[in-house]
Amino acid sequence: MVTKLYDIRRLITVMTLSVVACVAMAQSDAAFSHFWAGPSYYNPAAAGEYNAVHLTLGSRMQWVDFRHAPVNFYVTADMPYKLMEQRMGVGVKAEYERIGLYSNTRIGAQIAYKRKIRKNTLSVGVQPGVFSQTFRGGEAITGGEEGDDKVIPKQNVSGTAFDANVGVFFSNPKFWAGFAVTHVTSPRVELKISRESIDYYEFQLSRGYYFTGGGNIPINNTLFEIQPSAMFAAYNNIWTAQAATVLRYNRMFNIGVGYRWKDAATAFIGVHLKDAYIGYAYDYPVSEISRATFGSHEVFVTYNVKLDNREKNKNKQKSVRLM
């Protein structure tokens, strides 16, 4: 009986590590269902779209019934800025991700050049930063000496590499659209026990391509608005797509639904409280993984700190997502 239990445990461990490794290598960015509310997570050109210091907090707990399931937290802060009469957007982004035995940290600065074209704004942005990764090899169960796998580190290893995102973003009072490339250089991270170590394990970030877009459609003679949005992503010869439709009442209450291709159906609910927005999303899996988990949870919060503009800002523009 002991042998059987051990074999089952080993099988489960190998399967879990395999799934985690595949997910980590295939997708380098989290698949947030609230992509429509936080476009600067993927696209640095979206920084500075609000006439305020715009703060964002996003958290995602995926496949909550799985041990070592992916967990993501990120924060951004951005604002408009004028440099020699040129409109700019500046911001910072920090993210922590835990997936399996991996822990990833990303920190970057966002800079966006903005060009006003009538009622439209065209932005080009870049996000230089660093990517840091740790693999907790001391927690890995490899089955002892007989089942020892030299590919898996037996000790905790970590490494850091330069990372960068670039993007283009277009917005007007009725709709917005963007294209971004994340991890442009597809950096390689050398995971070592210490900086002085000669031996190392290598992890490479996959370059990601993201097309996003959305709009705001008021329903005549009512207090309702419909806000559809969609995102197409491609990375590592794999693609995915997701769409969402949010119904907003009296510019205060949100309720909506979404779908991620062959992955999950989503339900949204949220409320606007003056300068803040608090939203929640629940993803119900529609793939085979639904046999092992009840789904994923996501909490999304934004807050605007109004800028003290003593002069009228002729280029002032509200985001279509808040109108």
Q: Which of 78-87, 140-149, 224-233: highest mean pLDDT? A: 224-233
59-101: per-residue pLDDT in tens?
999 988 777 789 999 999 999 999 888 899 999 999 999 998 8
Residue 192 has a pLDDT of 85
Beta bridge partners of 302: 56, 277
Q: Mean pLDDT over residues 223-234, rounded?
A: 97
Residue 144 has a pLDDT of 54
Residue 55 has a pLDDT of 97
| 146/257: higher pLDDT | 257
Structural contact between residues 278 and 270, judged by C-beta atoms closer than 8 angstroms: yes
Q: How many CA atoms lie within 13 A of 46 on its CB side?
A: 28
Distances (CA, A) of 287 to 50, 72, 238: 37, 21, 16
* CATH 1.10.10 fits domain 2-279+290-306: no
Q: Mean pLDDT over residues 3-11, rounded?
A: 37
- Checking 73-76 for CB contacts under 8 A at 24+ apart, the result is 73/97, 74/30, 74/41, 74/106, 76/38, 76/40, 76/41, 76/47, 76/110
Residue 112 has a pLDDT of 97
Judged by DSSP in three states, 321 sits in coil
Handedness of CA 137, 142, 143, 149 (dihedral sign): negative
Which residues are within 8 A (CB) of 306 and not within 5 positions of it... i.e. 6 or more apart? 51, 52, 275
pLDDT exceeds 80 at position 3 = no
Residue 142 has a pLDDT of 59
Structural contact between residues 157 and 301, judged by C-beta atoms closer than 8 angstroms: no
Residue 21 has a pLDDT of 43
| 109/316: higher pLDDT | 109
Domain ranges of the chain: 2-279+290-306
Structural contact between residues 81 and 89, judged by C-beta atoms closer than 8 angstroms: yes
pTM of the model: 0.84
| 192/1: higher pLDDT | 192
pLDDT exceeds 70 at position 40 = yes
- The single-letter code of the amino acid at 214 is G
pLDDT exceeds 90 at position 17 = no
**Torsion angle of C-alpha atoms 194, 196, 202, 203, degrees rounded to 10:** 50
pLDDT exceeds 50 at position 264 = yes
Q: For the chain, give the longest Cα–Cα distance.
A: 78
Beta bridge partners of 277: 272, 302
Cα–Cα distance for residue pair 306/292, rounded to 1 Å: 45
Q: Mean pLDDT over residues 127-134, rounded?
A: 96
Q: Judge residue 101's burial from the number of C-beta atoms within 10 Å of its C-beta, 0-12 exposed, 13-18 middle, 19 or more buried.
A: buried
Phi, psi at residue 274, to the nearest 5°?
A: 55, -105
